[in-house]
């Protein structure tokens, strides 16, 4: 092993742990000044497995001419080109140049030329990192294949690194693609995770105390979440609760058992709000909110819809989940209930309500609306205006291109939801659902 590499490892090791092998591997591909860099590298692994951290620290250490691009942010190839040129030419946008880019550029040919000009006087090696590079697939077809062999095309001392959470196989396209060197960032094991989280220990606590806490914490959380960012956040907010009794003197800080009893409930309830960063300090409130998000009942009751809108929604639901040919039988008032029972003999194996909504025409929905509504209301503009409103609220959705002659809709709410809505207006949907009669 060469000296330069060792030095690098030592320097990065202060910040990054458990990734020595990967750092070595990357270093050997681009780090030795007497060896040529590889043309392109593909780095993949789960979210928050330290990809960005490792690559960015390494490049900062190597002091290359670096450009790091977030492909979500640069949503078109033009933005990518301009961003790269900006970064590599050390161009700064400011009021003097009226915040313009270094060079406007919107195709690969120009880009290569401009790139060559931009770095003419800069002897440093160039590395371009494409983070979230899966987005590149949706841009110009030639973009990804060309970027993979950018060194070849520009003749510069350059390496492109692609970073993604998905495997390279998903990038294959019809036009063919040069395979870069692949590096996988494996998920952290429990021990690794503990070490990583330990790195972010709050200052004024003893090591042992915090390790104890992390052990308890991971025993609950690691089962459902391996995202390092999320765990860091959760560890932080739960730790405040953990130390509370210690601070107030209620529990001795070595009494792990009591501490566990105290925290386990909180941990478990917070487990439900992973990824949900609600800024209330009150964990009770947080769980309440969480339940609200989960429960359809709460959701439906929190909906304040005008009276006719509710009926309209019910009509839409019925239209979506009943076969059209049975409308007459279901909604024409005269047919008695008894007769209904008799006629139904065979049922399809799968229930309509489980198959998802079917599209219906506006006329059909209005007809059902008038059939289930006891009052007589005119077909007024106010009534019709409810339909686009409900589309906007995502209760209905328009199917297909907006055909003016016969628009079609689907109802997007669930059975439980509609049951609750119809209860508020005193209507029993089950009586009108094909599946239940």
Partner 1 sequence: MDNVSVSKGVFAFQGSYRIGRGKKRPGKAPLFNESWYKAYKEVWSTIEKSTQKINSDIFARISEDLKSYVSSINYDDLSGEIPTAILLTGVNLPDHGALFQMLARKFQDITSHIAIMQQRDSYSLKNMMEETVFQLINNSRNNRTEIQKNHCTSSMLNAWYQEYGSNTPLLIIIPDFESFSAEILQNFILILSVYSKTIKFVLIFGVATAVHAAHRSLPHHVTSKLRVQVFQAPSQVKSLSGVLDGTVLSTETPFKLTGRAFQLLTDIFLFYDFSVNGFLQGYKMCMFQHFYGKNINSLCCNGDNIGSRISALRSEDLDEIKKLKSIAEYVRKLPVTKRDSLNDEEFKELLSTLINQVHTFTRTFQITLKCLHHLTSDLPNAPLGKQLREVYAKAVSCAITESQEYKECLQYLGFISKEELLTKLDAMKNIIEISTEEKLLADVKLDLEKYREVIRNASPEVTKENTEVVDPGEKLNRAQLKEKLLKLSKKHSISPYKQAQTDVINYLDQKVFSIYLKNPALLPGSEIFFFNDGNAVKHHIVGSPRAAIHTGLNNPQAYLDCSCCTVTSQQPIVETMPDLSLIYKLHLEGRRLINMYDWLQSFLAIVCPDQSGEERREVDPELQARFTRAVAELQFLGFIKSSRKKTDHVMRLTWGCS
Ligand X SMILES: Nc1ncnc2c1ncn2[C@@H]1O[C@H](COP(=O)(O)OP(=O)(O)O)[C@@H](O)[C@H]1O
Binding residues for Mg ion (CB under 5 A): 52
**Sign of torsion, CA 35 118 56 71?**
negative
Binding mask 179-198 for ligand X (x = CB under 6 A): -----------------x--
Q: Out of 195, 232, 329, 408, name the contact with partner 1 by CB under 8 A.
A: 232
Instruction: State the residue number with the nearest CB to ligand X.
Output: 50
Q: What is the DSSP string of 24-60?
A: HHHHHHHT-TTSPPPSEEEEEESTTSSHHHHHHHHHH
User: What is d(CA 46, CA 39) in angstroms, rounded to the nearest whole number?
Assistant: 24
When asked if residue 302 is in the footprint of partner 1 (CB under 8 A), the reply is yes
Contacts of 412 (CB under 8 A, 6+ apart): 357, 394, 395, 396, 397
Note every long-range contact of 103-112, with CB atoms under 8 Å and residues 24 or more positions apart, other chains counting.
105/78, 105/81, 106/77, 106/78, 106/81, 107/77, 107/81, 108/77, 108/81, 108/140, 108/142, 108/143, 108/146, 110/81, 111/81, 111/84, 111/85, 112/153, 112/154
Instruction: State the residue number with the nearest CB to Mg ion.
Output: 52
The residue whose two tokens read 């689907």 is 410
When asked if residue 373 is in the footprint of partner 1 (CB under 8 A), the reply is no
When asked if residue 109 is in the footprint of partner 1 (CB under 8 A), the reply is no
Of 68 and 273, the one with the shorter C-beta distance to ligand X is: 68
Is residue 107 helix, strand or coil? Answer: coil
Q: How many CB atoms lie within 10 A of CB 249?
A: 8
Q: Near ligand X by CB under 6 A, which window of 16-24, 114-122, 154-162, 397-405?
A: 16-24
When asked if residue 309 is in the footprint of partner 1 (CB under 8 A), the reply is yes
Q: CB 152 → partner 1: shortest distance, Å?
A: 28
The residue whose two tokens read 């961003």 is 83
Total residues contacting partner 1 by CB under 8 A comes to 60
Q: Out of 394, 401, 402, 426, name the contact with partner 1 by CB under 8 A.
A: 394
Q: Out of 12, 16, 216, 372, name the contact with ligand X by CB under 6 A.
A: 16
Q: Out of 6, 7, 47, 344, name the contact with ligand X by CB under 6 A.
A: 47
Contacts of 341 (CB under 8 A, 6+ apart): 437
When asked if residue 229 is in the footprint of ligand X (CB under 6 A), the reply is yes
Instruction: Give the rounded distance of the alpha carbon of 352 from its chain centre.
Output: 31
In the list Mg ion, partner 1, ligand X, none, the entry touching 196 (Cβ below 5 to 8 angstroms by class) is ligand X
Q: CB 313 → Mg ion: shortest distance, Å?
A: 42
Residue 360, Cβ density class (10 Å: 0-12 exposed, 13-18 middle, ≥19 buried): buried
When asked if residue 30 is in the footprint of ligand X (CB under 6 A), the reply is no
Binding residues (CB under 6 A) for ligand X: these are: 16-19, 45, 47-53, 196, 199, 228-229
Q: Give me the residues that bind partner 1 (CB under 8 A), please.
A: 47, 70, 72-73, 75-76, 79, 83, 86, 92-95, 98-100, 227, 229-230, 232-233, 236, 274-280, 289, 292-293, 298-299, 302-309, 363, 367, 378-386, 389, 392-394, 404-406
């Amino acid at each position: 092993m060469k000296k330069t590499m060792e030095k690098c490892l030592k320097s990065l090791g202060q910040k990054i742990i458990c990734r020595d092998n990967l750092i070595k591997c990357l270093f050997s591909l681009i780090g030795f000044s007497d060896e040529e860099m590889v043309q392109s590298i593909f780095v993949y692994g789960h979210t928050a497995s330290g990809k960005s951290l490792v690559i960015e620290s390494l490049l900062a250490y190597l002091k290359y001419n670096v450009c790091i691009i977030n492909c979500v942010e640069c949503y078109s190839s033009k933005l990518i080109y301009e961003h790269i040129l900006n970064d590599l030419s050390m161009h700064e946008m400011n009021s003097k140049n009226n915040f313009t880019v270094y060079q406007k550029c919107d195709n690969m040919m120009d880009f290569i030329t401009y790139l060559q000009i931009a770095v003419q006087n800069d002897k440093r090696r160039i590395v371009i990192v494409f983070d979230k590079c899966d987005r590149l697939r949706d841009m110009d077809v030639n973009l990804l294949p060309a970027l993979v062999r950018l060194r070849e095309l520009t003749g510069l001392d350059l390496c492109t690194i692609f970073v993604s959470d998905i495997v390279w196989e998903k990038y294959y396209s019809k036009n063919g693609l040069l395979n870069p060197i692949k590096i996988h960032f494996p998920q952290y094991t429990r021990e690794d995770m503990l070490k990583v989280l330990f790195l972010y220990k709050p200052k004024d606590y003893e090591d042992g105390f915090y390790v104890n806490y992390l052990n308890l914490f991971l025993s609950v959380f690691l089962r459902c979440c391996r995202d390092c960012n999320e765990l860091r956040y959760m560890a932080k907010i739960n730790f405040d609760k953990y130390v509370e009794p210690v601070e107030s003197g209620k529990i001795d800080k070595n009494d792990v058992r009591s501490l566990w009893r105290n925290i386990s409930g909180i941990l478990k309830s917070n487990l439900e709000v992973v990824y949900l960063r609600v800024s209330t300090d009150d964990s009770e409130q947080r769980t309440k909110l969480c339940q609200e998000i989960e429960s359809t009942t709460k959701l439906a009751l929190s909906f304040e819809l005008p009276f006719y809108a509710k009926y309209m929604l019910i009509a839409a639901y019925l239209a979506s989940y009943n076969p059209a040919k049975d409308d007459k039988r279901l909604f024409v008032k005269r047919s008695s209930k008894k007769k209904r029972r008799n006629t139904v003999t065979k049922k399809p194996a799968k229930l309509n309500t489980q198959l998802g909504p079917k599209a219906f025409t506006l006329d059909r929905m209005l007809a059902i609306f008038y059939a289930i509504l006891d009052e007589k209301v005119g077909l007024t503009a106010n009534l019709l205006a409810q339909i686009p409103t409900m589309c906007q609220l995502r209760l209905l959705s328009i199917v297909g291109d907006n055909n003016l002659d016969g628009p079609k809709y689907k109802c997007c709410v669930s059975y439980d939801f509609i049951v609750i809505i119809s209860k508020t207006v005193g209507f029993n949907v089950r009586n009108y659902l094909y599946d239940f009669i």
